[in-house]
Amino acid sequence: MPVANTTEAGLLLVDKLAGPTSHDVVAWARRALGAKVGHTGTLDPFATGLLLLLVGSLTRLAELYHVHPKTYDATMRLGVTTDTDDATGRVVEESRAWRSLSPERIEAELTSWRGSGVQRPSTFSAKQVRGRRAHETARAGGTPSLADVPITIHEIALRSIEGRDVRFRASVSTGTYIRALARDIGAALGCGAHLTRLRRTAIGPFEVTDAIRSDEIGSAAPAEGRGFRFGVAAIPWLARRDLDAGELDAILHGRPIDGGEALAVTEGAGSTTEPIALTRGRRVVAIAEREGDRLRPRKVFPT
């Protein structure tokens, strides 16, 4: 696979197919690109859609992506509860109460979940409990003790109802489990529910329509504009400041520089004036924070 334009620091957008784990996809990308690759958040094996993989030195920026809402197209099945909250699990309860629910009642319940609140993660999740992932404890026959976590549901909207299958769109904060959301909505409707389909369509400004398919990794070269974002294009929501030669030398040696003027980004989810990306052309040189009228580098990328 020709990889000359993907071994540079940047972001690889991948449309994960159902079946492989997110870590499988990361491993394929590492082998194909011959570069360091890390993820900014995973998808369950049965789920499809957008994965953001950081390449090269930009793997150190994963936490910056947590500000972005994640958008999903999901389907839940009413009347059936499973131990995993999705279709991969064992059925633990069934109910026919869904038959008496009107479309208006279902839509009203969905929209009532907009806003900030708390959620108990799914038992079969990757949530760490005392140094062990919850799903590992559950599969070993234990019951992980999971605390509620704060979440925000920015948007949730009904797409369609076919029998007892309810399709909806949701835009949520990082750390929100759509499986758990389906579980909780089903419980509120009085019939139970589990997730049967999940596709992530966007993360902040990044769309799955711009991604390379996971089964193409290793056979088709991701190229800029086709699955790959080089340098500063990987962090388009950050304010940025281009460096002259003297400032570049100072930053590469860890020294602060005069604050000057940064190009503020005012559009797009997660847009912010802090931290600031220090650039040299399209290359990301450092991530800096303001200290008074100075910019101090916090993470420096020498090459």
Alpha carbon distance 39, 14 (integer Å): 10
Catalytic residues: 44
The whole-angstrom separation of Cα 127 and Cα 137 is 11
CA distances from 234 to 7, 132, 203 (A): 14, 32, 12
CB contact at 8 A, 15 and 211: yes
Would you report the helix, strand and coil content of the chain in percent, each value rounded to 5?
25, 40, 35
Burial 19-40 (b: 16+ CB within 10 A, else e): eeebeebbebbbebbebbbbbb
Structure token pair of residue 301: 């990328």
Neighbouring-strand partners of residue 20: none
Angle of the 103-111 helix axis to the 178-189 helix axis, nearest 10? 130
Closest CA to 121 of 106, 105, 137, 109: 137
The DSSP letter of residue 131 is T
CA nearest to 174, candidates 138, 133, 121, 230: 121
- How many whole angstroms separate alpha carbon 127 and alpha carbon 64? 20
3-state secondary structure 164-213: CEEEEEEEECCCCCHHHHHHHHHHHHCCCEEEEEEEEEEECCEEHHHCEE
